[in-house]
Homo-oligomer: A and B are copies of this chain.
C-alpha cells in the first residue's frame, strides 16, 4: 500500500474544466486524505477555484500551461499545438518523469490517447494501447475493452486485451481469478470473425491467471456473465454507446408512461425512493473513468461531460490502479502470456488449429 500517491491532473479537461475538476479534488481529499496533486492548467482560470478550495490548494502543486486542448480538436492538430506545453501533455509527462503515479484528464479522448502513446510508449510486446471501461451489470460491474482506442484487432492483440483486462479486474475488483469472455455474435465455436475464433483457441489453451469462459454475446454485457469482456475497439465502442443510448431510451419511456395520468404520477410520488434507487443504478457517474492499458504508465480518461461526483469517481479509480501498480503487473502477465503462446504454438507445429 502506497500512501504518498501523487496524481497528475489536467485541470482544463472536460466540458467545464476547473469548475468541475477542482471541487472534485476537494471531494477526493475527504476520501483519500494523504494524496498529493500536480495540477496543470491556465493560471488565470484555475487560480480563482484554488482560492475558494484551500484544501485542494494545500494538497497541490500548480503548474501553469499556456495551451489547453479543445474537446473537438483533431488529435494530429492537438499534438502539433499542444506538444510540450498543453495541460494534457504536461500532466502525462509528469508520469513519464516519475513525478506522478497516475494522470487523469476529462479532455479530448483522441488527443489524450495520442499524447499518452507518444509520451509513455506502449509496453514491450504491446502494439497499441486499449481503452477499458467499467460496465454496470446485474451482478455488479464488468470491465469491457477495447471501447474505442483502436479499430480492428488481430488474434494476438485480442489475447493481449484479455491479459490486460484480467490484470485490471484483479486491481479494481480484487478478484484472484477473473473470468474473461470474447465478444462474438454467437456462442458456438464455428461462428464469428476469424481473429476472434483463433483468439478463443489460444485463450483456451493458455494457462494464465484468469478463467477463459468462451464467447459471449451483446446481451451478456448487461447480465455480467463474465468479469472481463474482450473485443476490438469498433464493436466495443458501438456496444458501449448503444447500451448508454438504450438506458436513456428506457428511462425516457418510463418518464412518458408515468406522466400519462394523475394516478401514475401519484404512484410515482409514493415509489419515489424506488425511482431514486433506479436513477442511482443508472447514474453514469458511478462508473466514470476509462483506463488506457498497455502503456508504460497509467492514464485515466474521465467522461468529458461529467460533474464533480463523476470526476471524483475517476480519481478513486486512478488511486486503485496506482496502488495496484497496474503497469508492472500487466507487463509481467503479458510477458508470461507471450512466452506460453510461443511454447503452445511450438508444441502444436503442424496442428491446423493453432497455425
Chain A interface mostly helix, strand, loop or mixed? helix
Is the CB–CB distance between A273 and B264 below 8 Å? yes
CA distance A251 to B238 in the complex (A): 22
A274 contacts across to B, CB distance below 8 A: 254, 257-258, 260-261, 264, 267-268
Q: Does any Cβ of B come within 8 Å of A282's Cβ?
A: yes
Which among A219, A240, A265 has the highest number of chain B CB atoms within 10 Å?
Answer: A219
CA distance A224 to B179 in the complex (A): 35
Copies of this chain, count: 2
A233 contacts across to B, CB distance below 8 A: 185
Smallest distance from the beta carbon of A37 to chain B beta carbons, Å? Answer: 31
Is the CB–CB distance between B248 and A222 below 8 Å? yes
Contact among B223, B241, B272 with A218 in the assembled complex (CB-CB below 8 Å):
B241
Is the CB–CB distance between A237 and B271 below 8 Å? no
Q: Does any Cβ of B come within 8 Å of A151's Cβ?
A: yes
Q: Does any Cβ of B come within 8 Å of A124's Cβ?
A: no
CA distance A249 to B249 in the complex (A): 13
CA distance A218 to B147 in the complex (A): 12
Is the CB–CB distance between B257 and A263 below 8 Å? no
Is the CB–CB distance between A193 and B152 below 8 Å? yes
CA distance A238 to B238 in the complex (A): 8
Is the CB–CB distance between B234 and A222 below 8 Å? no
